[in-house]
Amino acid sequence: MHEIKRIGVLQAAKFMAVVYLALSLLFTIFLVAVGVGSISFGRILLQILLAPIFGFIFAAIGCLLYNLIASKLGGIEIELEVKKEADPFSLHLSETQ
């Protein structure tokens, strides 16, 4: 078993900001395509800008809380498995034999 001792706050927050940006773009495209109500350009722009900002803020808060709690109680335990990558040449040899 391995334990996640701490999470890099800034890196995780940046990652989540990009995820929230992508999701807000998809959601906005869906709303515009379906034509839900009257959506103004300002609301669309606000939604696209606010989603990654809040994603960054809440991810940073979540990581800080995790790091604080993990330092007191211990981190989340995970089990990892190392997988061997198949050699592409050996696959071709076994198919021809």
| Sequence ranges of the domains in the chain | 2-96
Neighbours of 74 (CB within 10 A): 11
| pTM metric for this prediction | 0.74
**Do the Cβ atoms of 9 and 33 come closer than 8 Å?**
no
Length of the chain: 97
Q: pLDDT per position in the chain (97 positions), as tens?
A: 999 999 999 999 999 999 999 999 998 888 888 876 677 788 888 889 999 999 999 999 999 999 999 999 999 999 988 888 776 676 555 555 4
